[in-house]
Structures are given as C-alpha cells and as structure tokens.
Amino acid sequence: MVRRLSTVDPRFAAGFEALLGEKRESDADVDAAAAAIIADVRARGDAAVIEHTRRFDRFDPAEGGLRIPDEALHRAIAACPPATIAALRLAAARIEAFHRMQMPAGIDHVDTAGVRMGAVWRPIAAVGLYVPGGLAAYPSSVLMNAVPAKVAGVGRLVMTVPTPDGKVAPLVLAAAAIAGVDEVYRIGGAQAVAALAYGTAAIRPVDKIVGPGNAYVAAAKRRVFGTVGIDMIAGPSEILVVADAANDPDWIAVDLLSQAEHDTAAQSILFTDDAAFADRVVAAVDTALTGLPREAIARASWERFGAVVVLRDLDEAPALIDRLAPEHLELAVADPEHLCGRIRNAGAVFLGRHTPEAIGDYIAGPNHVLPTARSARFSSGLGVLDFLKRTTFVACDAASLARIGPAAVTLAEAEGLDAHARSIAIRLEAAPASA
C-alpha cells in the first residue's frame, strides 16, 4: 500500500519528516568498489577498462575497438524510423533555441575611479558525457547534455555509453550524431568515468563530466571531482504532483507513474486538498499499472516510496514543497502561476493541467537534467553555464591605482601580508616620478 499522510493528523509532522529523511538508494560497498575500479584504470589504462567492461557488460570491446566509428553514428540515423528521427531533430532544435537564450553577456566597465573591470566567458575545452545504457536507452539524455555543450562552444564532446552484451540502441547513436558529439566510446560504469577523468591510451582526458548514471557512476563522479568538474551527483528520479479535484484522476495517475517507471528507487508524491480525489488517483494508479511494460519497476517504486499527502487547503503546499525541493513539480491546479510564485525550491515546474512533466523530458526545451534528493535547495538544472567558465579582468592606470591603492595597502598590512602591500605601494611611490 502506498503511504498516506494528512496535515490534519497530529502525527503528520513526524510522518513528513520520515518522508524527507528516507534513503532511496543503497550505497553499501558502492563507493569502495568505484574507488577500486578508478585506481585500476589509473594504473592499467585501457587494459583495465576492457577487463571491467567484459565483467559488467558481458562483451569484449577490444574485438571491435573501444570507440564507435563516426560512420556508425550516421548509419544509425538511417536505421531508425523516420518519424522518430524527425522527433529527435525537433527536440534538438527546441533544446538549442532555449539554451541559446541562456548565453551570458560579458562585462567591460570603467568605474568612477577610472578602474576598468569586467568578465569574459569561455567554453570548457573538453567535456565527457555519460549516457546510461542499462535498463533503458535514453536518446533524450544525449540531446539534453550534448546540445547545451555545443551551444556553449565546447570544442571536444566525448560520449561514453555502456553496451550490455555488445548492443547499443541505434537511437542513442542517432541522437549523438544529431547533437554533434565528437567521439563515442562503448564503455560505462565507474571505468568510463575514470577513463574520462584520467585518460588512457585510447581516450584522452576531459575537463568536466556530465550526465546521469547508476550508483557506481555517481560514486565515481564524486571520487574524480577536483581532477575534473562534474555537473551534479544525480540520484533516483522524483516527481511531486499538486492536483485539485478538478483534474482527471487518470491523468494524474500516469503522471505519477511517469517517474516511477524509471527505477524501483524513484519516488512519486501526490499533494491534494481533496481526500476523495486522492482515493480516485490511488485507484487509477493501480489500474494504470496493470499491463504497463515496466510494471514491476513502477509498482515497486510506487509501493515502497510513493506517497499521497492530503492538505487542509492548497495554501499549505508551498512550505511543504520547499522542504521536499522536488526534482520535478507539477502544479495541476486552477491558478498554477500564483502557487508557483510562492515556491522557492524545485528543479523544474510544470504549470497547469495540460503540462505533464514528460513534455519536459523530451521536447519542451528546458533541460531535463535536474537536481534530485532535495538538492534543488541549492542547485539548478543543467544549462549552458555548466559548460562555460568566467574569467574576470582588472586594468588600472597610474591615476586609478592612486585612487584605490592606498586602501588596498592598508588592508594588506592589516592582514600581515607585507609583500602584498609593498607590491601596490612601490607603484604608488613611483607614480609622481613617472607622471
């Protein structure tokens, strides 16, 4: 049975706190295993990558090479249904258009003291993109990670994708070709992360690694951070749907299952101000589960981690939403804009009854790589800025240095950093003679 909470219940606070603190993925021995694989790849390079791929993916990449040839990517486009390729191209165009609007402008300013200062943005030179290839193939994930990188101007985009039993979904390769990925390697897991971070004979290292993966991938990304940048440590997917009784319960049920079908550790939560409507949604979920191709996964997720919270009224929702800080938030209510304006913490918000979260997964335009596990309290979804670096600059002439330098000398001396102070003062002392 799915867990039920009500804000009128005196035990609600304890129940909601338990919901917040619930751990949805096991990390027993995962970090140690990832660390061992990383150390092995650093020590033995390609040989270690090949050995771990044989072990975990049940095929030998040495036979056909670690890299998937560029021509295979373009052949994949021809091998896929034309309607699906057209949909991928439409999605890529929409994702590109949205992310182009995120490109920041530089700053070049001279202040009243005559000091010139500013900032310039430069793309990261090389980025590694991890694409999952286990339980399902996600060409949409390729687009969501690769297209913003290309918009930012990343010069070398390297993709790794596990190919269990030597098989890779043609749509994933087609998406890589459409997005302009430069190199694709048939490896996954912690060994792929290690190869991207430290490099091997076959795979040159990158500067940042992005993209979702399983617990071993997440542990490996955490381990290599500092050697390379990473986007985030992604956990299991999650959705919170806020719905009033004017909704069709069947619509809300499939919205909840849209995330539950990802993973047995995914989480789907319903907030509603109508207990009878909550009952109808729970019944609709049970009906919708039957015959769902990924029924076993979705059912395990819903029964273990799903929740239904009945509110006194929708005014209670914003404070509770901010505590949950959900990855995906649907506001299927009469006035979603008003409610959204009161919410601080969410990865992405879907406004109104006709905006299911799934539209954002594929075609809307904003990125679907979003903060999970309550990290929307302090982080954002993937975007162009994740593939750019900001460098500031300052330019003083003798006159402007004379205006602001004495204060800098004072602060340096107060911190006991005499060379700092002297490097400014020596120029101030020379200024009259050189004027």
Tell me the catalytic residues. Answer: 327-328
* DSSP, res 242: E
CA dihedral 368, 371, 374, 376 (to 10 degrees): -100
**Which burial class, exposed, middle or buried, applies to 75 when counting CB atoms under 10 A from its CB (0-12, 13-18, 19+)?**
middle
Q: What span, in angstroms and rounded, lies between the C-alpha atoms of 242 and 254?
A: 14
Residue 418 contacts by C-beta under 8 Å, 6 or more apart in sequence? 412
**Which burial class, exposed, middle or buried, applies to 256 when counting CB atoms under 10 A from its CB (0-12, 13-18, 19+)?**
buried
Residue 282 contacts by C-beta under 8 Å, 6 or more apart in sequence? 2, 308
Helix (H, G, I), strand (E, B) or coil at 331: strand
Q: What is the DSSP string of 84-145?
A: HHHHHHHHHHHHHHHHHTTPPPPEEEE-TTS-EEEEEEEE-SEEEEE---SSS--HHHHHHH
Residue 430, CA distances (Å) to 37, 408, 422 in order: 58, 16, 12
Helix (H, G, I), strand (E, B) or coil at 353: coil
Half-sphere exposure of 241 (CA within 13 A, CB side): 34
CA-nearest of 374, 379, 284, 401 to 22 is 374
User: Do residues 283 and 317 lie in contact, with contact meaning Cβ atoms separated by under 8 Å?
Assistant: no
CA dihedral 287, 291, 294, 297 (to 10 degrees): 50
179-218 CB burial, b ≥16 within 10 A, e <16: bebbbbbbbbbbbbbbbbbbebebbebbbbbbbbbbbbbb
